Structure 1
Amino acid sequence: MNKVLIVEASESDRRLMSGLLMRAGYEPIAVDKMEAAKDEVEKLPPGAVIVADHRLPDGSAKELAYWQKGEGFSFPVIAIVNNLNGSDLLEVMSDGGAVNVIQRAAIDKQLVETVGKYAKPENIVLQLDNTLIQRSSKAFRKIEQSIERVAATNANCIIFGESGMGKEQIARKIYLQSNRTQKPLIVLEAGGAALVGRHDPESDRSEMLNRIEGYFQEAKGGTLVIKNVQLLTFEKQSVLLHILEQEHPDVRIICTANSSLLKMVADETFRDNLFFILRQTSISVPPLRETTEDIPDIAAYLLTRYAQKKRQLKKRLDASALKALKIYPFPGNVRELKDVILFAAFHTPNDAISESDLSFSQSEPETDSGFKLQDPAMEKAKITAALEQAEGNKTMAAKLLKIDRSTLYIKMRQYGLK
């Protein structure tokens, strides 16, 4: 496995990044200071990658990049930045500093993908392409019908759903089924470096306008996909709105977003006029914990791909593994399922993967699993749903509900549940 050195002062972010990288098949090493990082760099094997905070208490990502090159090392350094403004990027990436950046607010979405660009491909467990994994659930069939309806029009669309549910893959499938396939498809990350403007001293126009307008020109006649549109700064929102209202480009826009976008519109931190232009239609993607019947299909696809890459016989999940996968809430959704399945396949010498081979992360950010008891009016329904998903296993149901077993029994008696 490739080693990834994490240099980060925040303990919670170190845990989060370590968990994400472990499930993706990497071996993370986490430190909080520059001196400790230098000691670890000297031990790193070929193919390793460094992820470092842009500003550390005793140094910076750029300083670490300079130091290691001066010592004869050439490990790529990816910097974590709080804001993607031009001055920060110029500082950290100029003169042979960091090779790329990750915005702190989007660590869970950008970390594994960005590290994968610089780690040695032959040592990565498995990188999936942009294919939408087929599933047999009623919810997925409904999504496929929505894709066909949207593709038949030129309407802008927002695809709502939690991280890791394949929203970009849905956007790409809309493009492939549309009448715009002969024209370009441009994919941008709203919180990424690609949307940071470049200063043009010969132009009196906004550098942000020049940059974003350039992507529309590249995508002319085609489709522009904006991932995680809720991460657009207010300045970028204003520029995007200006282009759409004043220039009316011949480009269909498909955005991906999580539910926080709706709250941002209500709180007026995301411009409502831009929101309604982008959301001429929408697709909602339910989280994996609500479509657990899809887990066997997705797992079978992943194990087939893994077997093809490793040129070995395909492994399978036994009944205990399937049950454990269906009970676990998967806050990281399909992306996390992929990591769990491939990590187990990599480390299991047997043909069958059992529950004991599965490793679930203990360092996920807090996520509403859909069962957590918060609204007394919904308690009975949530308890019933948790018991059904856990197939009557009280310990597992209590875990889903985020309560202890004794509290579950009290609640069951209170609502007359057997």
Structure 2
Amino acid sequence: MRYYLLVVDDEKNTREGLRQALERDDRVVFTAADGREALDQVQERVFDVVITDLRMPRMDGLQLLEAIQERGMDTAVILLSGYGTIETAVEAMRRGALDFITKPVNLGELELRLSKVLGQKQLALEHESLKEQIKERFGLDNMVGRSQKMIQVFETIRQIAPSKSTVLITGETGTGKELVAYAIHAGSPRKNKLFQPVNCAALPESLLESELFGHERGAFTGAVKQKKGYFEVADGGTVFLDEIGEISLAVQVKLLRILEQRQFERVGGTNTLSIDVRVVAATNADLEALVRQGQFREDLYYRLKVVTLDLPPLRERREDIPLLAETFLKQFAEENRKGPMRFEPETLERLKEYPWPGNVRELRHLIEQMVLLSHSSTLTPKDLPGKYQVEPSKEYIEIPQGTSLRSAERKIILQTLRQQGGNRTRTAEILGIGRRTLIRKLQEYGVGDEE
């Protein structure tokens, strides 16, 4: 694979020196003398990384960064400046710069950061390839995400789908459990048979038993004829039991027999029926706690969790929020014949700051609402309903004059970590660095490994 880099600097010696230093067999390095010239090149060719000076005539580095983002280009931007201040660095990162390096440039440091960026690009490409394979095989265009956690979810789906094993999907409401269940079904040998979803929480106990296992005529008042249940109808296919923690102990007994013996009787019946179904269950409850409380059978719990797949909440994969939002925006704009629509960068920042208790489902509904109510092709922060008007964190961190860059960096990292209650993953996301990088820096500062 070849990577394309663009070095932008109004000083010829600097840009030529960087070009020579960064060129490799797998890298092609172009140069530009200012932001305008760089933007012309960016519009003609896809660059993996743009390394640009901050202060330049005609168009400076921040303006170039904004122009690249407005055009929706998947290009990482590293800013260089001989006038580096903490405020400038924070502002650059807030606007979307991948990194900020002070001049004179330490080539070793630049090479390390560039190698990391290109490594992430390679990982993203591999993930896109995996996602395309899943989409091609499963037809799941709505499964969107580039975060490491979602890559792991996609990979697990690929591994477990062909098997016959029972699967337990855990995760908060709105994380996409039914979508994942269908992906498992669609990737299995049962894909041409029925996928039957059942919301166990939506049905009362008496009705749930009849819906799952069917009933004989006269089994209860109103049972005027025989009825097949979901398990019988889905013979050869997959039954998805959502909110499995809500079923009664009586229904749990019959479900356990399905899993162990593949047999059951209809409600009010005596004939034993045999079936071949795969069970995929899901819950947002703590089943282990329900087992301890005597509300869920321990033997059923262990039969269900042959394979467990945990879906992360949206707040733990905030880097996926812009991608999800853009996907939903395109979908609903097309459905409602609104024409091409876009977000202002600040709107996406507000979306990334919101905690999303309803997860992907809540985000999807919000974008649909914004598309329907908007009178413009550009969605601004003013288009967000009141509760989503979350200002990006601007808590002041005082850096005394004369503080070295290393000391300032240490103070920013440690104070951000304190503000996030010691949550290193969230701290790394806010600072725009990798979690491993954060841990390495904390070790340099003498901070222990404990969370």
**How high is the TM-score relative to the length of structure 2?**
0.49
| Aligned match for 2:188, one of 166, 173, 178 | 178
Q: Which runs of 5+ in 1 are unaligned?
A: 1-128, 363-377, 393-418
Secondary structure of the corresponding residue to residue 283 of structure 1: strand
Q: Contact (CA 8 Å) 1:327, 1:390: kept in 2 or not?
A: no
TM-score, length-scaled by structure 1: 0.53
**Mapped contact 1:189–1:227 kept (Cα < 8 A):** yes
CA contact (8 A) 1:327 1:389 kept: no
Q: In structure 1, which of residues 240, 263, 270 is the aligned counterpart of residue 255 of structure 2?
A: 240
| Equivalent residue letter for 2:296 | F
Which one has the largest radius of gyration? 2
**Aligned counterpart, 1:253:** 279
Is 1:190 aligned to 2:200, yes or no? yes
Corresponding position of 1:145? 155
Using a 3 Å threshold, how does the CA distance of structure 1 residues 361 and 195 change in structure 2: closer, same or farther? farther
Deviations 1:113-166 (CA, angstroms, capped at 9, x unpaired):
xxxxxxxxxxxxxxxx98533222211111110001111211000111100011
Distance of 1:139 and 1:278 partners within structure 2: 23
Q: Distance in 2 between matches of 1:272 and 1:379?
A: 40
Alpha-carbon separation, structure 1, partners of 2:336 and 2:219: 53
Q: Secondary structure at the match of 2:295?
A: coil
Secondary structure, counterpart of 2:230 in structure 1: helix
* 1:67-216 equivalent positions in 2, closer than 5 A: 132-193=142-203, 195-197=208-210, 200=216, 202=218, 214-216=229-231
Change (3 A) 1:311 1:202: closer
Kindly tell me: are residues 299 and 239 of structure 1, through their superposed partners in 2, closer, same or farther at Cα, counting changes over 3 Å?
same
Distance 1:380 1:214, change over 3 A: same
The Cα of 1:191 is off from its aligned counterpart by: 1.6
| Shift, 1:263, TM fit | 1.7
Tell me which residue corresponds to 1:382: 421
The answer as to whether partners of 2:168 and 2:280 remain within 8 angstroms in 1 is yes
User: Contact 1:326–1:389 (CA<8 Å) still a contact in 2?
Assistant: no
Alignment of 1:2-401 (within 5 A): 132-193=142-203, 195-197=208-210, 200=216, 202=218, 214-248=229-263, 249-359=275-385, 361=387, 382-383=421-422, 385=424
CA distance in 1, matches of 2:140, 2:162: 21
Partner Cα distance (1:265, 1:361) in 2: 37
- Contact persistence 2:241–2:282 (CA under 8 A): yes
Show CA shifts across 1:289-336 (max 9, x none).
000111111111111111111112222111111111111100000011
The answer to whether the Cα contact below 8 Å between 1:341 and 1:358 also exists between their aligned partners in 2 is no
Task: Tell me the distance in 1 between the aligned counterparts of 2:418 and 2:300.
Answer: 38
3-state secondary structure, aligned to 1:136: coil
Matched residue SS, 2:197: strand
For residues 138 and 319 of structure 1, the distance between their equivalents in structure 2, rounded to whole angstroms, comes to 23
Q: CA deviation at 1:218?
A: 1.2
SS of residue matched to 1:191: helix
For the 8 Å contact 1:135–1:294, the answer to whether it is kept is yes
Q: Partners of 2:300 and 2:281 in 1: how far apart?
A: 12
Contact 2:333 2:371 in 1 (8 A): no
In structure 2, distance between residues paired with 1:158 and 1:383: 31
- CA 1:270–1:131: 2 relative to 1, 3 Å: farther
Task: Output the CA distance in 1 between the equivalents of 2:361 and 2:386.
Answer: 13
- Count of residue pairs brought into register by the alignment: 245
2: CA distance between counterparts of 1:163 and 1:390?
Answer: 25
**Distance change >3 Å, CA 246–CA 176, structure 1 → 2:** closer
Amino acid at match of 2:421: K
Q: What is the alpha-carbon distance in structure 1 between the residues aligned to residue 302 and residue 293 of structure 2?
A: 15
Letter in 2 for 1:217: E
Letter in 2 for 1:184: L
On the 8 A contact 2:322/2:352 being kept in 1, the answer is: no
What RMSD in Å do the two structures reach over aligned CA positions? 3.0
- Structure 2 unmatched runs, 5+: 1-138, 264-274, 389-416, 433-451
